[in-house]
A and B are shown apart, each in its own frame.
Chain A
């Protein structure tokens, strides 16, 4: 029981607190029911399914307990390991670029003029739009004969553009580009916000002491921005591992399976092949990896809350 705080309030009788307790439970009930019913119970069900052999096209009920077979199969399946490779490729290329460009942008538009304010508002736009629409839109931009990227931009500098979505290498680059385009604004916003919290007197004092702009960045701003960078890194890594919409609408995993990532692979296995057991096992393995990152985010969030 943790009621010391409440007891200190002389006019708040015990009975009242106990009454409040009823209300606390009542207020929590509907939301908890939804979280447990919509998320946690199905998750446990999927854990159970991950040990079952069940292809819905063959049978309308589970076809028997298979232990760790589904997990073992996935790890030995070369097409699954290829999707893992591509997923990691996507994360390792896009996230650092997003952080670099986003930080650069934050420095570029820092300031108070009306033009800068408007620019900051517009810079956010890619992030608020449905990734599914971004994928379809860029399909059009990448169109090898009529799309403006090949037709106007690259043509202008005299380069014959590649067949973006028809070539397995360029299709990967195409996804990297739209991921950077869509999510750099996220980094930009977080770093912009963090920049405003840097105490100006420290900066000025260092400037008076003759520190160069780079030294200011390296020895004052960077350490103060470190927590923001860490959070951005975690957020973006996690979300990039989970990417589905833009890949699905841009390349549909193709050409062949060259741009198939883990989420898409599981999605197809569950809803096209209806291999429920394997899809569940794959998603639980994926969950284990994601959990590590989620736990880190949680720790960082709690720590930043305690610091306040």
Chain B
């Protein structure tokens, strides 16, 4: 009887593991196919019905980078993501701290938080018309700076909200004893609270990079060619002279792989950022 039970248990475990494997296959196959297609010899996608190519080649990556266009898009994406992250972490962390330790009434703080939550979720499509006009007026369309500005509008409120919830969790007693010792506001922030909030800063940086790196709507509405980011370039690929699947997948790989590495190595932080508001 005991043996029977153990056998049954092993069987249900087997079924369960099998189910998990099927789910993983569904999740991972598209990524696998993306890599495979980017490494396939040109023209083979339609000609060779096998999933695995006859041989692997970096031809598509060479194609993407030849003429400098791929480099431009990659560089734009890198410049935009890093500036956006740096700026929004600096000012967002400051504001989050100020808000958490402010003398404002709880009602006022809540209204400010509401504005931030609103900006996290409202239809971003609403600001593309005004921004198109503003940037057009200042001759700033299709510049990297324009994309940085628009992304900041998205990430700063997010970082403030995240850091606010984080600083609220840091016990105030530490700062109180520091101010008895004569530490001012800035000292307390820099040498006491900030080191404690480093996990929060990590979460905010990683999530901000993720947001800016993947963002398409705003970037595409203010760029034409010179300031295109990788997502915008990939979307444009479809209409360019037929579809060069291999090159398109090579460019997608450039966009996708860094985030997959992020997700596997720094998952805890990335997830915490994504879940803000949903779980704590």
Contact = CB atoms under 8 A, between A and B. Distances in A.
A35 B260 contact: no
Contacts of B275: 189-190, 193
A24 B132 contact: no
A276 B179 contact: no
Contacts of B83: none
B98 A133 contact: no
A80 interface: no
Interface stretch (A90-98, A167-175, A203-211, A262-270): A262-270
Given A128-B260, A271-B221, A301 B277 contact: yes
A148 B98 contact: no
Contact of A249 (B19, B91, B184, B238): B238
Nearest to B248: A136
Contact of A279 (B45, B121, B129): B129
A263 B218 CA distance: 12
B238 A252 contact: yes
B10 interface: no
Contact of A105 (B23, B37, B256): B23
Interface string A241-285: 110110011001000000000010011001100001001100110
B102 interface: yes
B184 A19 contact: yes
Given A124-B267, A270-B221, A45 B278 contact: no
A125 B261 CA distance: 10
Interface residues of A, number: 105
Contact of A280 (B102, B129, B267): B129
Given A121-B267, A125-B31, A276-B133, A46 B217 contact: no
What secondary structure prevails in chain A residues at the interface with B? helix
Nearest to A22: B185
Contact of B127 (A43, A139, A304): A43
Interface in B209-225: 210, 213-214, 216-217, 221
B27 A123 contact: yes
A272 B95 CA distance: 38
A190 B156 CA distance: 24
Interface string A24-68: 111110111011001111110110010000000000000000000
A27 B95 contact: yes
A119 interface: yes
B123 interface: yes
Given A193-B279, A286-B126, A39 B221 contact: no
Nearest to B221: A271
Contacts of A290: 121-123
B231 A27 contact: no
Contacts of B274: 127, 186, 189
A271 B106 CA distance: 41
A157 B222 CA distance: 47
A153 to B, nearest CB: 9
A134 to B, nearest CB: 8
B99 A28 contact: yes
B98 A231 contact: no
B197 interface: no
Given A9-B176, A20-B185, A119-B24, A31 B249 contact: no
B123 to A, nearest CB: 5
**The 6 nearest A-B residue pairs measured at CB:** A38-B153, A31-B95, A27-B98, A42-B130, A130-B214, A23-B185
5 contacts: A31-B95, A43-B126, A108-B19, A238-B121, A244-B125
Given A286-B123, A290-B121, A302-B110, 8 more contacts: A17-B103, A41-B130, A129-B260, A130-B259, A249-B235, A280-B126, A291-B118, A294-B117
